Amino acid sequence: MTVVAVLTLVFIFENTREVRIRILIPEVSMPLYLALLATAVLGAGCGYYASSRRQK
């Protein structure tokens, strides 16, 4: 688990270029590592929520 987290963080912080992202209607410009980090956090949160619901 720790190895996966470290590799994910290394991948995220190696991608530092600026990208344009369209979120529904507005288009925002941000560093790619922030978009990847936000996606990873949202995915981990959804996974945690789904696994906690399954255990009950």
Cβ contacts of residue 41 below 8 Å, gap of 6+?
none
CA 49, 12, 21, 38 torsion-angle sign: positive
Question: What is residue 31's DSSP assignment?
Answer: E
Note the pLDDT of residue 25.
82
Note the pLDDT of residue 53.
81
Note the pLDDT of residue 56.
60
Note the pLDDT of residue 47.
92
Structure confidence by residue, pLDDT tens digits, 1-56: 899 889 988 988 888 899 998 878 889 999 998 888 889 899 999 999 998 887 66
